[in-house]
């Protein structure tokens, strides 16, 4: 959420802030985000591994924070943070993932009834998923050494 009532400092108030917040609530539905993250992660991981339910190795990816920052003026930026818990060969490790989207003018995010905002949330989930798979890949390469 943005605006003074949400601790925003970028000077976005009134109708623009209200419209943005209403759209954000729609595209940031928790169940929808969890499904999007799961689907993107599974899709990307399938290119790297044979994912099997009987494996002793596991990975759990969870978005810990998805919020908007206001870097200045009427610019808004999506920030996603995720926690990745990986168990490989009986050893567990938790890794943090951070994604910062581009800072754009609020009017950009409001175009076409929030289509750009929805696309950015989907892109953020895909970037977090890709980063998770890449981090796991690096961890498995280190574990094999």
- The answer to whether residues 128 and 63 touch, using CB atoms and an 8 Å cutoff, is yes
Q: Is the pTM of this model over 0.85?
A: no
Query: Average pLDDT over the chain, rounded to whole?
Result: 84
The mean pLDDT of 10-35, rounded to a whole number, is 84
11 vs 29 pLDDT, higher one: 29
Rounded Cα–Cα distance for residues 16 and 107 (Å): 8
Biggest CA-to-CA distance, the chain: 57
Q: Using the predicted structure, report yes or no on whether residue 6 has a pLDDT greater than 80.
A: no
Overall domain count for the chain: 1
Backbone φ and ψ of 32, nearest 5°: -65, -40
Angle between helices 106-144 and 30-45 (to 10 degrees): 40
Domain that holds residue 37: 4-144
């Amino acid at each position: 959420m943005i605006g003074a009532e949400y601790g925003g400092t970028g000077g976005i108030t009134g109708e623009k802030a209200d419209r943005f917040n209403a759209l954000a609530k729609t595209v940031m539905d928790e169940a929808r985000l969890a499904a999007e993250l799961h689907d993107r992660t599974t899709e990307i991981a399938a290119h790297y591994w044979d994912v099997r339910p009987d494996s002793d190795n596991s990975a759990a990816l969870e978005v810990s924070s998805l919020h908007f920052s206001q870097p200045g003026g009427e610019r808004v930026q999506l920030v996603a943070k995720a926690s990745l818990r990986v168990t490989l060969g009986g050893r567990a490790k938790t890794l943090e993932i951070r994604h910062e989207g581009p800072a754009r003018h609020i009017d950009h995010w409001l175009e076409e009834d929030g289509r750009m905002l929805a696309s950015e949330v989907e892109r953020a989930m895909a970037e977090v998923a890709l980063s998770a798979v890449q981090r796991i890949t690096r961890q498995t390469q280190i574990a094999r050494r």
